[in-house]
């Protein structure tokens, strides 16, 4: 996807959004409401820019303006996931879904998120070969693309985690998975999806997806079965995330340090298969044995 020079990337915007949220909290804690309001306005602008960059909001309805609104309705429709969308290559569809999730994810979840928040679906058969295609492209021409869809790395072996996709532009620690990572990543994604859904009126598809998350998080379900309040879901997910985040962060940081010292550029994105084989306990063939 072409991006004009100087335009922030989604990852840069997410970093800015996190910084602004922290600044708003600090201003409120200090009683500086005037500064908090200014920061909040800047935060809203950053969130809108994220919507434009990731969801393609700025192109929604272009060329078909009937003069009935200023774009607010188009943005609300995009938040619900029922606005018009152009056809995108599969890798861009996966990138959009992963950017929304903000954590390593399996193809099935990626497809569910894309179908809920965007128009169309991600063909599962195409996802099975996508990571291999990305690795082949990187090894042929390293860093020729603005991003690559790559493997999550296991914290113990630094090998590709089976069935988990990430984005190459994420910090290495975010792309590593340890024993606690599946839960922390689940909760992280629940917060992000709930926050995004809360910006508009969730469509039935989004509600179904949020319910799948809420039903596995204590305190996230407070109303009718099948319906979820995004704010309640986000709050419940954050509460549990606070319990697991720090030990998971330490494990990931330790593994990331080993990875930077031991792996080359391609292995940092797609994992070390040789290390996985060596550490798996297999013995080399010898003394008349045949390696299996």
Determine the pLDDT at residue 111: 94
In the three-class reduction of DSSP (H, G, I as helix; E, B as strand; rest coil), residue 202 is classed as coil
* Average pLDDT across the chain, whole number: 81
Burial of 197 (0-12, 13-18, 19+ CB in 10 A): buried
Q: Compute the average pLDDT of residues 62-73.
A: 35
- Range from 29-33, 36-40, 81-85, 233-237 carrying the lowest mean pLDDT: 81-85
Q: 204 — phi, psi (to 5°)?
A: -55, -35
Determine the pLDDT at residue 54: 64
User: Cα 272 vs. chain centroid, distance in angstroms?
Assistant: 23
Taking every pair of C-alpha atoms in the chain, what is the biggest distance, in angstroms? 82
Is the pLDDT reported for residue 71 higher than 70? Answer: no
Is the pLDDT reported for residue 277 higher than 70? Answer: no
Report the alpha-carbon distance of residue 57 to residue 78 in Å, rounded: 7
Determine the pLDDT at residue 68: 33
229 DSSP assignment: -
Q: Compute the average pLDDT of residues 96-111.
A: 96
Report the alpha-carbon distance of residue 185 to residue 238 in Å, rounded: 12
pLDDT digits (tens, 9 = 90+) for 203-228: 999 999 999 999 999 999 987 777 89
pLDDT digits (tens, 9 = 90+) for 79-100: 333 333 445 789 999 999 999 9
pLDDT digits (tens, 9 = 90+) for 121-178: 887 777 878 989 999 999 999 999 999 999 999 999 999 999 999 999 999 999 999 9
For residue 55, what pLDDT band results from cuts at 50, 70 and 90? low
Sheet with 176-177, side-by-side order of all strands: 160-167, 149-154, 176-177
Determine the pLDDT at residue 87: 57
């Amino acid at each position: 996807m072409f991006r004009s020079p100087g335009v922030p990337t989604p990852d840069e915007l997410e970093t800015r959004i996190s910084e602004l949220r922290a600044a708003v909290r600090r201003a409120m804690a200090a009683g500086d409401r005037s500064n908090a309001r200014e920061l909040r306005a800047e935060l809203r602008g950053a969130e809108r820019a994220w919507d434009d960059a990731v969801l393609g909001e700025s192109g929604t309805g272009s060329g078909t303006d009937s003069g009935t609104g200023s774009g607010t309705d188009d943005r609300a429709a995009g938040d619900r996931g029922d606005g018009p969308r152009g056809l995108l290559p599969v890798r861009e569809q996966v990138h959009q879904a992963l950017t929304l999730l903000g954590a390593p994810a399996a193809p099935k979840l990626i497809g569910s998120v894309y179908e809920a928040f965007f128009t169309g679906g991600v063909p599962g058969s195409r996802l099975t070969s996508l990571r291999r295609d990305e690795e082949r492209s990187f090894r042929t021409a390293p860093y020729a693309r603005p991003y690559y869809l790559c493997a999550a790395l296991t914290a113990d072996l630094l090998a590709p985690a089976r069935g988990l996709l990430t984005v190459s532009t994420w910090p290495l620690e975010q792309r590593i998975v340890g024993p606690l990572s599946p839960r922390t990543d689940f909760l992280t994604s629940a917060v992000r999806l709930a926050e995004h859904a809360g910006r508009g009126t969730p469509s039935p598809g989004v509600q179904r997806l949020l319910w799948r998350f809420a039903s596995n998080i204590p305190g996230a379900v407070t109303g009718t079965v099948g319906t979820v309040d995004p704010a309640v879901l986000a709050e419940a997910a954050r509460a549990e995330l606070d319990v697991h985040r720090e030990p998971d962060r330490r494990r990931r940081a330790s593994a990331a340090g080993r990875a930077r010292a031991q792996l080359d550029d391609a292995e940092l994105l797609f994992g070390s298969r040789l290390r996985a084989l060596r550490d798996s306990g297999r013995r080399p063939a010898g003394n008349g044995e045949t390696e299996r």
